[in-house]
């Protein structure tokens, strides 16, 4: 599996690069809990994020990163006595970039799968599921999965959401319906823009994001709770992953993790924050 990990590292060299963004505030004057040899930059926790998922990760009107996962990343860095730094990048480049040591941690709520855990260290921390947003007013009256037969649905390229949408299409075809016309986009923001422009008839994202667009009155969340699977933080370094696991356990013990998740209407994944990955 390490050979596969090195192979995808090569792809990272070809991926688009986004400039790093320093989070507000820096590490405290304390001893880092992770050695510099485990990090991309000394005394710094470099995290990748695609800020196209309000309210979990997004860019506000002032150009600042905001959201539950950004707050969580900042708090993890603080407790590790590291300076948080973010790389804004499309999801499709995140795993190759991790293999190539362009960042220390994927902080985008990547869905956990056994396949991914064979490539990198993963900590399941957040419950999540896939949801479908319809055009305003739900003109197609989408109520069930079978109502998507023959419809054009947008989704971000290369993620668990795309896989879930294609699995839906396969089930529809197995039941005698027409396949979904799956249209992929670089990120969720573009997928929702396509829905707004009428280029697709629905957009698949995750529950919390679909709920946020519904709350705003933009797009109704007509299907949700699909393919519920824990989301994870991901790492190249096992030592760093172990320390982050300890931080999440500490935050659970002092109540700060639940308080953060409750503010955003997100559930903590059940069980301990076990590191799953190679080695």
In this structure, CATH architecture of domain 2-128+230-276:
3-Layer(aba) Sandwich (3.40)
| Paired tokens of 111 | 């869905």
Return the minimum-mean-pLDDT range out of 21-30, 31-40, 90-99, 192-201: 21-30
**CA 24 vs CA 79, 84, 109: distances in Å:** 15, 8, 21
Lowest mean pLDDT among 21-25, 90-94, 108-112, 115-119: 21-25
Residues 6 or more apart in contact with residue 225 via CB below 8 angstroms: 129, 131, 207
Location of each CATH 3.40.190.10 domain in the chain: 2-128+230-276, 129-228
- Average pLDDT for residues 246-260, to the nearest whole number? 98
Reported as a single tens digit per residue, the pLDDT across 42-82 is 999 999 999 999 999 999 999 999 999 999 999 999 999 99
The more confidently predicted of residues 256 and 28 is: 256
**What does the pLDDT look like over 6-23, one tens digit per residue?**
444 434 443 444 556 656
Q: How far apart are CA 107 and CA 87, in angstroms?
A: 10
Instruction: Give the residues across from 84 on adjacent strands.
Output: 45
Q: Which CATH architecture has domain 129-228?
A: 3-Layer(aba) Sandwich (3.40)
What is the C-alpha to C-alpha distance for residues 101 and 12, in angstroms, rounded to an integer? 9
């Amino acid at each position: 599996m390490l050979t596969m990990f090195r192979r995808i590292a090569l792809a990272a060299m070809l991926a688009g690069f986004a400039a790093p963004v320093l989070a507000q505030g820096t590490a405290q004057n304390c001893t880092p809990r992770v050695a510099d040899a485990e990090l991309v930059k000394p005394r710094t926790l470099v995290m990748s994020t695609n800020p196209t998922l309000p309210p979990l990760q997004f860019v506000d009107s002032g150009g600042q990163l905001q959201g539950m996962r950004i707050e969580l990343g900042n708090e993890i860095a603080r407790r590790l006595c590291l300076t948080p730094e973010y790389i804004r990048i499309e999801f499709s480049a995140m795993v190759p970039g991790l293999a190539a040591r362009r960042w220390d941690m994927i902080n985008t709520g990547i869905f956990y799968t056994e396949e991914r855990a064979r490539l990198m260290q993963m900590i399941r921390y957040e419950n999540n599921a896939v949801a479908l947003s319809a055009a305003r007013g739900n003109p197609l009256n989408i109520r069930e999965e079978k109502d998507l037969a023959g419809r054009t649905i947008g989704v971000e390229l290369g993620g668990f959401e795309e896989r879930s949408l294609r699995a839906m299409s396969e089930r529809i075809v197995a039941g005698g319906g027409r396949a979904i016309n799956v249209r992929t986009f670089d990120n969720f923001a573009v997928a929702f823009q396509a829905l707004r422009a009428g280029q697709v008839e629905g957009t698949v994202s995750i529950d919390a994001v679909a709920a946020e667009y519904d709350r705003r009155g933009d797009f109704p969340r007509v299907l949700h709770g699909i393919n519920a699977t824990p989301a994870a933080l991901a790492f190249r370094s096992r030592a760093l992953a172990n320390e982050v696991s300890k931080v999440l356990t500490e935050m659970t013990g002092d109540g700060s993790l639940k308080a953060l998740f409750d503010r955003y209407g997100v559930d903590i994944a059940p069980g301990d924050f076990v590191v799953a990955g190679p080695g």
